[in-house]
Amino acid sequence: MKNILKVLCLLVLVTFFAGCPKDDTVTAEPAKAYSEQYPIDEAAIDDFLATHFVTVDGDYNTTFTEIQEGGTETPIKDMPNLAFKMVDRNDLTYKLYYLVLNEGIGESPIKVDSAFVSYKGTLTDADNTTFDSAENPVWFMLEDVIPGWGEIIPQFKSGTSIENPNGTVTYQDFGAGVMFLPSSFGYYNGSIGVIPQYSPLIFNFKLINQKHIDHDSDRVLSVYEYYDPTKTDGSLLDTDGDGVPDYLDVDDDNDGTITKEEVKYFDVNGDKQYYEFANIPTCSGGTLKKHLDSSCQ
């Protein structure tokens, strides 16, 4: 199977699937209510965490094994590196579990950034069936793949790379983990390949690298324009209140001068340059950077 995570249309999984890879046949039926399905998924994930242990090799590859009666292995649910994130979605609050195998030492992407990731996806069935994998890292726009990736990958940091004399590249110190996703953070009522409808998914992943994106090409990276720093609920930043979040708004303060013009300057040679975000000046001793202050151009 090709890298099915690339299939943007699977985020919605309605009846229109034009553009999906020809070897990834997708079927769907009218969706259940999320409030009906989530308790089922939650119970399946909780059971998996309680009845399985994990072994991890030196490259952070994982193998899950069911604990036999009388077994003394530590179930995943009792591992100290098992974390969770609470996410509001579909008028519900979900608990997304993830194992931290290695945090990483670089930067973390946000959910609309690009990530260079290797991964293996498996089901929670008795055989822990593998449905997709990429041993060699692949670049993904996190907003273009299943929702769970945009929630969990940003909890980790990228690593470093070394180019070897023979032309190969060695990656090290990267973030690595495992995410356990309810079906609404995967393919929900869609069936693709060996993945049944309403399947919780497990991904063992390695965040090799990341790249911050400038969605509106205004010379301010989206990582600085996405979240509203005054709120803790994940609200998007919309400085001028026009309903268009800053990371998609070419004029963030709605003053008639596009942001790209407000963050430029000319160096000593008269060449046009653009400020790094931290160095964008304010006006008249104010606290807002000039591109966010409608009284300043």
One DSSP character per residue, 233-274 reads S-PBP-TT-SSS-GGG-SSTT-SSS-HHHHTEEE-TTS-EEE
CB-based contact 207:158 (threshold 8 Å): yes
CATH of domain 4-211: 3.10.50.40
Condensed to tens digits (0 to 9), the pLDDT of residues 221-275 reads: 999 999 988 888 889 999 999 999 999 999 999 999 999 999 999 999 999 999 9
Condensed to tens digits (0 to 9), the pLDDT of residues 275-293 reads: 999 999 998 777 889 999 9
Enter the tokens of residue 130.
């593998």
CB-based contact 27:195 (threshold 8 Å): no
Which residues neighbour 166 within 8 Å (Cβ) at sequence distance 6 or greater? Answer: none
Residue 40 φ then ψ, to 5°: -70, -45
**Which pLDDT score, from 0 to 100, does residue 5 have?**
55
**Which pLDDT score, from 0 to 100, does residue 25 have?**
57
In the chain, CATH 3.10.50.40 sits at 4-211
**Which pLDDT score, from 0 to 100, does residue 24 have?**
56
- Percent of the chain predicted with pLDDT > 70: 90
* Lowest mean pLDDT, pick from 106-110, 168-172, 218-222, 281-285: 281-285
